[in-house]
Amino acid sequence: MLRPGMCWPVRLVFLTVSALLVCLAAAAQASTATEPVLVKAFSPSPTGPPFGSQPSELTNVGGKLFFSLYNRAELWRSDGTSSGTTVVRDFPGEGRCAIPEELTSANGTLFFTASNSSGGRELWRSDGTAAGTFALTNLYRVCVVARVRNLTSVGDKLFFYPGGVSDGTVAGTKPLSLSEIDLTNVNGTLFFGRLDFNVCQLWKSDGTPAGTVLVKDINPNEGCRDAFDHPHGEEFPSEWVNVAGTLFFTADDGIHGVQIWKSDGTEAGTVLVKVIDHPPYYGPTGLTAVGDTLYFGATDNEYRSGLWRSDGTDVGTTPVEGISCISNATEVNGTPFFRACDKQRGAELWKSDPTGQSLSLVKDINPGSANSVPYGLINVDGVLFFVADDGIHGDELWRSDGTDGGTTLVKDLNPGPGGSNPGQLTNVNGVLFFTANDGTHSGLWRLGPLRSDYKNAAQFCKAQESFLGSAAFGRKYGTDKSGANAHGKCVSQNQ
């Protein structure tokens, strides 16, 4: 035992400090794995212009994160580190027209729209380098009304309005007769509504002129607006959704008003599902796929609104008792999760069985009839992440394993009731990227370990297990359903 005035042996001091440094490093790595990390701040908050330079349109393209900024004519990319978050290139022009929009991944290539030297909003592509970022079209001189838009990925192709398809090369970007109405991918086939002043039709395309064909005349005797839009001319866009490989959409055949239709891509298989009597201006809305079931909102002739479900048959299209809305659906490990509303608990997190028929509350996050309004639901390696307001912390990031006890706040990133307002939740190689404001920094954040954070694969895998939880980690790396040998497989894959 040392008495006052005595010195610690040099070797003992060295070993003690070394052990302390190792412990601190391990603690820092554990924190990095389980708590949000600021990747890059783009503007101070709450000062500065509206929304600052908040990242937007976060998009995963082949394991690379791309995004644009709210008030800058720049395309960015990030590897999850501050130094690796850089500008790909900037764009000519001024104002909103120069800002990259509609970032879309197709066949490992980023497609987006931005202005060219002539001022028009055109189709661009990028591989993440300045040299590999260039325009594919040169159609317009202005971007206010006439512009490339409605980018839709289908297989290895990118479809776009005013009528084109691209493989990511200038030579492979070709005109194709399309409409701007609801370009929708259903199991590798593009569906769309064709507009002209005499008929309204459902079409499909495989990306070739010969394969772009009429499916069915929905309303052969009236104008297009009466078939796919509001029956009296006001904007009332049709809604299209893929439910287990079948296209569901709303349309008016000129006889029954706006109703739910479905199509398997053939004329005979494109049919009205069920006639639901409703007042003018009140067609079905909010079409949402939950497992194998379609959910939507409808209003009867007494102006009573409610939730309906459909299996695609007349008899199987029925009102849902006790729940008034469903939205923001996503699937995790075969279980559909979504936001649903009822009178007792407001808008909260729910789930269903794989068929979408049996619904149950996961957690009343904001207790009582108040709403937590979950949004941004996303699957990250078998774990559900989303944003919700528990009435105390404001909008913050949450996670769930599908149970009440396993549905928890990740972190009160901006302490107090204001919330950090996370948005743009995006999964890139098992790391969750999002935008948020912690009261000091507004910018790009991530949750989850990067391989570059760790000296060896064993440390990285331990961090991944801490981030995902043992069950999800076992499902991701386990050699069987029990998750056996998960750690060893993780190490071998991340050497």
Q: What secondary structure letter does DSSP report for 221?
A: T
- Which of 13-17, 225-229, 301-305 shows the highest mean pLDDT? 301-305
Reading the block at residue 66, the tokens are: 């791309």
Residue that has been written with the tokens 């580190």 in this structure:
81
Query: Which comes out higher in pLDDT, residue 259 or 32?
Result: 259
Question: pLDDT of 11-30, one tens digit each?
Answer: 444 445 444 444 444 444 55
Domain boundaries of the chain, sorted by first residue: 456-495
- Pair 263, 215: CB distance under 8 Å: yes
Reading the block at residue 107, the tokens are: 């066949």
Q: How far from the centroid of its chain's Cα atoms is residue 47's Cα?
A: 29
Q: At residue 388, does pLDDT exceed 80?
A: yes
Q: At residue 282, does pLDDT exceed 70?
A: yes
Give which of 211, 174, 218 is closest to 196, Cα–Cα. Answer: 218
d(CA 73, CA 124) in angstroms, rounded, equals 14
Across the strands, what pairs with 398? 386, 409
Q: At residue 53, does pLDDT exceed 80?
A: no
DSSP string, 401-447: SSSSTT-EE---SSTTTT----EEEEEETTEEEEEEE-SSEEEEEEE
pLDDT band at 163, cuts 50/70/90?
confident
Question: pLDDT of 399-449, one tens digit each?
Answer: 999 999 999 999 999 999 999 999 999 999 999 999 999 999 889 999 999
Q: 113-127, 372-386, 389-403 — which is least confidently predicted? A: 113-127
Question: pLDDT of 247-272, one tens digit each?
Answer: 999 888 888 888 999 999 999 999 99
* Percent of residues, the chain, with pLDDT higher than 90: 64
- Whole-model pTM? 0.88
pLDDT band at 180, cuts 50/70/90?
low
- Pair 58, 435: CB distance under 8 Å: yes
- Pair 443, 55: CB distance under 8 Å: yes
Reading the block at residue 192, the tokens are: 């769309």
User: Residue 31 has what pLDDT?
Assistant: 59
d(CA 424, CA 444) in angstroms, rounded, equals 10
Mean pLDDT rounded to a whole number for the chain: 86
